[in-house]
Structures are given as C-alpha cells and as structure tokens.
Amino acid sequence: MSLEEHPGAVDTSEPLLRAVDLTRHFSLGGLFGKDLLHAVDDFNLTIHEKEIVALVGESGSGKSTIARLLAKVYAPTRGEILYRGRPVKKLRSRKDLLWYRGEVAMVFQDPFSAFNPVFRVSHGVMRNLALHRPDVRRDQRRQEAERVFESVGLNAKMLRRFPYEMSGGERQRVGFAQALATAPKLILADEPVSMLDVSIRVGVLNMMASLRDREGVSLLYITHDIASARYVADRVIVMYAGHLVEEGPTDTVLRDPKHPYTQLLLSAVADPREKLEEIAGDTGEPPKVINPSEGCRFRSRCPYAIEKCSLITPRPGPIGPSQVACHVALAQAEGATDRVETAPITQR
C-alpha cells in the first residue's frame, strides 16, 4: 500500500463522477414554512478513478447531504450529477437505478445500527451479489462473498456471525464488504471511522487505501477529522456552511492552506507530538444557513474579512493546483503577479 500521491488519479476526458453547481435546500417549519435551510450551495466536485477524495467539514457543513445527493437519497434542488458523463437525474427505471446503486455504494457512520440484528452478516453481502452481480452465478456467490470478506481484512468464517458477535471495527469492515459486493466504482463512506475506538481506526483507514490500490475503487471519504484525511486521501475538499471553501491535492492543502477556515481547522487539531500556539478566542461554531444573504459565510469569524466579503459571495478560484473560495486569498495570489486593487487586510 502506498501513501504517496496515487498514480491512478490521472485526468481523463470524463471523470468518474462530476457534480456541477450542486445545491440542496430544505424548507423549515412544516408545510407552509417559508424558511429555507441552505444545506449545500453551488458545490462542484469531481472524483476520478482510483482516487480517495476526502470531504472535510464540521457538523452542519453539508457534507452528509452531499453523500446523500450523490447516492440519490435526495434529489438536488439545483445542479447536476454526472456519472461517467451520464446525468444521474435521468436514471429512473428500476434497471438503471439498480445499476447506479451498484456502481456507487455507500458505507454508513454507525456500524452498530447499520445491520439488521436478526440476520447473519452474510445476508447483506449475498443480497447485494444477487441484486447487482448478474455476472456471478448462484453457486459462485458464496465464494465471491468469501473473497469480498477477505479483501476487507475479515476471516471468511465470519460470514456466519451475527452483528452482535462482532466488534465495532469488524462491523464497519462488514459495511465495506457489503458495499464491495456490488463491484462498485465508487464508495461513499460517511464518517466510517468516527464511531470506532482510536486503536482500530487506522486499520480501517489502511483497508480503505488497499481497496483503492487492489480493487481499483474510488472513495469519497467524508470526515470531520482533517488528520485522517491527510493520512488516506489523494485530494481534500474543505466545506464550510454548505460552501466549498478549498479544494486541492492533500499535501498542498495541508502544508499551505490558503483559506482562513482551513487554517483555523488545522490549528485546532490537537497533536501531542506538536506544541501548538494558542488560538484566539474563537468559540468555533459554524452557522446554520437559513435564508442567507449574499456574502462569504465565514466572514463573521474571519480575521481577514474585508468589505467585499459581506457583499459578494466568493466563488472558488485557482491558486496553484488548488481551488480557493476567498476574496483575500485570491487577491493576494493575483497580486503576486500584477498589483491589482486590493483592499487592505484588516486585522480585527
């Protein structure tokens, strides 16, 4: 298993999955409620083959909504999802949906509630094989189930177990085995390690990397833990209050974060091996985005906010290999080449 930049993540003409201006609003306050919660706004995302993309954000940032949009649990309010160039919206027939759900599988956060307790863990795997794998003959299914179990680091004998007979880490691996049974190209993993004990998290992360390397699967790894994103992901997307704030190669984003929010997030990670300076009195909670006005959603917490930030919503723009949605950072990057009008950076 390699932790270096993954060679498979090359730019081909059409990526595995592309989301364009993805937006999802929820109406609040019942049937006649007029308030709109903007869970995700104008979100762009590409996932290439054999790539682990980490989606990092705090609770309420909209990262789980994105997973559900991509899994077709929710329909987008606006915007489009293209899977291998095909608009996902147009997949309506049972056959098409079955195909898509086999190509894009999901793993859930809580391994303690994701399984039916009265069935053996083989049930979900076998069912996915029956539904999504016409290429596997009925008498070969058991063998394939065993192969899938072994590829997530479980013993094939464990197929006979019930969920209660397994530890949290083992159950989460069963979740991955179920997803893998459909022979997916992409696995959406929503906080797959956050409910697990510290000592077994790394094992599951390593297993995710081996799925990419050995099975050729791409993963969207949704997490609030930027350190684990750094450990396993090829590319990182940072979200704040429904917006993409920074996106780029893992090493670039973590070594030299451009968006003030990414910087804050990194400085907040406690690392016993590092002595960190104290951060200023930021009580640190992302806002609920209800009927938002124009402007950057991070501006009230941002130490570098300028007037423009409360007037115009920043759109992601290129800085080096990354995309950053910040007026100040973009102006600075531009200013490095030619001096454009930049408002003074006010330190509050």
- In the complex, the residues that contact other proteins under the rule CB under 8 A are 1, 3, 58-59, 167-170, 197-203, 205-206, 224-228, 230-231, 251, 254, 264-266, 268-276, 278-279, 281-286
For residue 248, the minimal CB distance to other proteins (Å) is 16
Residue nearer to other proteins on the CB measure, 83 or 221:
221
Residue nearer to other proteins on the CB measure, 75 or 279:
279
Task: Please report, for residues 39, 155, 222, 227, 265, the alpha-carbon distance to residue 287 in angstroms, rounded to integers and kept in the order given.
Answer: 11, 45, 20, 23, 15
Residue nearer to other proteins on the CB measure, 3 or 28:
3
Residue nearer to other proteins on the CB measure, 279 or 312:
279
Residue nearer to other proteins on the CB measure, 140 or 300:
300
In the chain, the amino acid numbered 96 is: D
For residue 190, the minimal CB distance to other proteins (Å) is 16
What is the b/e burial string over 191-228, where b = at least 16 CB atoms within 10 angstroms of the residue's CB?
A: bbbebbeeebbeebbebbbebbeebebbbbbbbbbbeb
Q: Are 95 and 72 in contact (CB under 8 A)?
A: no
For residue 5, the minimal CB distance to other proteins (Å) is 10
The H or E element spanning position 246 is strand 243-249
Residue nearer to other proteins on the CB measure, 10 or 268:
268
Task: Please report, for residues 65, 68, 91, the alpha-carbon distance to residue 75 in angstroms, rounded to integers and kept in the order given.
Answer: 10, 9, 12
Locate 339 and state its tokens. Answer: 């001096």
Q: Are 22 and 109 in contact (CB under 8 A)?
A: no
For residue 90, the minimal CB distance to other proteins (Å) is 37
DSSP designation for 55: E
Neighbours of 49 (CB within 10 A): 18
For residue 61, the minimal CB distance to other proteins (Å) is 9
- Minimal CA–CA distance to 284: which of 269, 274, 296, 304? 269
For residue 277, the minimal CB distance to other proteins (Å) is 11
